[in-house]
Amino acid sequence: MDELLDDLEAIVGSGGVLTGADVAARPAAWLRGDPTVARAIVRPRTTEEVSRILSRCHALGQTVVALGGNTNLVDATLTGADDILLSMERMTAIESVDTVGATMTVQAGVPLARVHEAANEAGFAFTLDFGARGSAAIGGAISTNAGGNAVIRYGMAREQVLGLEAVLADGTVVSSMNRMLKNNAGYDLKQLFIGTEGTLGIITRAVLRLRPTLNSLSSALVAVERYESIPPLLNGLGASLGGSLSAFEVLWADFYDTVTADRERHNPPFEPGYPFYVLIESRGGDQASDAARFEAVLADALESGLIADAAIAGSGAQRQALWAIRDDIDRLVELLDPIMAFDVSLPIGDAETYAAGVNRRLAERWPDTFRGTTFGHLGDGNLHFLLTVGSEDKAEQHAVMDIVYEELRPYGGSISAEHGIGLEKRDYLGHSRSDSEIALMKTLKAALDPNGILNPGKVFV
């Protein structure tokens, strides 16, 4: 090892710095298996170690990229041969659970699924949830302001964080471990680190907001004949379920038909044939009355013609089977090779016109190789495309992005609903943010990281 790495190993202890084959053994990104390239992977155990590492790197101008579970889908953790990856994998302590104040204090490397378990063990719920829960770390989820399956009810990661501790590029520890819902004493500094993809500081600890465990869960998959029925269905459910709607996931036929075709993996409640399917979920405090209301609301929607058919989950296993269809991204990764993932948002009334326009242009341009699937947390205006045009060529992939993002502009949509910008969407930031917004982002970056060592080149240049 070289002198810097020797110094860093002295900070994190023997075995805390990985180099060579140990670095290459790790995949560089979740969607691709190519090996990680980095000067080293450094694995601190405490905030103090992170502070000492950054202080040293800041002095030398050594670039540092924070690493959680590496499940981001936008090349946000991609490194070159000179970069150091600062992995939070040894910072996995659940420090405390406050059952009176309903908070949990954690280190940044705790996997999201472990946060859920610890909350459940304490009789509470942590409501940030998405498919990568087993691998994504809470610090990564906060750094990307992740969304997921229950945003419509509970909000994104930002709404689940009461306090944060972060280390600035020069090693300064900013401890803002607030535990109250309300605290307007000056600037809310934690927001600097939420959704900023490790470019302004390294999150080391967090105070998370827990919610009451709701005993009753009602879930259904419904089939819909016309897109025009979906916005009134969403608004109607919002009102008639009295604010208990917690998921509204729309699957276009191209998604549903592709995923459910393999009957060894899935036993879908409807045969293919409808253009849209909606996974609906409602959470409440009384199973009997909530289930009755849920059924009555869906019966009304059937009668009014907003939905064409409905399958209500009668058990936890049936609920899981419905979610397994929605969450079977693994199957699409197998089928749509080489895969491209998109995550945009736009007003819900425009989503189908937009999606149809994108799919039409992609099919025209790559008539033999384009295959796409469309789905999303549409209750949040969030649409995903998982697709392939059969090519890994960078220019071809850029041409796909041009189409997806150009088509979005007339609707005033966002090129990133929840995954962030990373490296992949950097060239398109100007599609969704004004010059003055980007200039202010750069001002903040220069103030907090004057040597530009934190996740360089990501989000903007």
Residue numbers of the site for ligand FAD (CB under 6 A)? 30, 65-73, 76-77, 88, 108, 130-132, 136-137, 139-141, 143-144, 146-148, 197-198, 202-203, 329, 418-419, 455
Q: Which is nearer to ligand FAD, 205 or 293 (CB)?
A: 205
317-324: long-range pairs with CB below 8 Å, 24+:
318/219, 319/217, 319/219, 321/266, 321/267, 322/219, 322/220, 322/221, 322/269, 322/279, 323/219, 323/279, 324/265, 324/266
As measured in angstroms, the least distance from the Cβ of 309 to ligand FAD is: 26
Length of the chain equals: 461
Q: How far is CA 302 from CA 114, 230, 245, in A?
A: 39, 13, 18
Q: Which is nearer to ligand FAD, 291 or 438 (CB)?
A: 438
The two tokens of residue 195 are 């959704």
Q: What's the rounded Cα separation, in Å, for the pair 77 and 404?
A: 23
As measured in angstroms, the least distance from the Cβ of 242 to ligand FAD is: 25
The residue at minimum Cβ distance from ligand FAD is: 140
As measured in angstroms, the least distance from the Cβ of 271 to ligand FAD is: 27
Q: Which is nearer to ligand FAD, 151 or 301 (CB)?
A: 151
CB 391 within 8 A of CB 341: no
As measured in angstroms, the least distance from the Cβ of 252 to ligand FAD is: 17
- DSSP conformational letter for 148: B
DSSP H helices, 307-452, are 316-326, 329-335, 351-365, 394-406, 429-432, 435-448
Q: Which is nearer to ligand FAD, 116 or 361 (CB)?
A: 116
As measured in angstroms, the least distance from the Cβ of 76 to ligand FAD is: 3
Q: What's the rounded Cα separation, in Å, for the pair 364 and 356?
A: 12
- Residue 154 CB: number of other CB atoms within 10 A? 19
Q: Which is nearer to ligand FAD, 74 or 214 (CB)?
A: 74
Q: Which is nearer to ligand FAD, 229 or 382 (CB)?
A: 382
As measured in angstroms, the least distance from the Cβ of 375 to ligand FAD is: 11
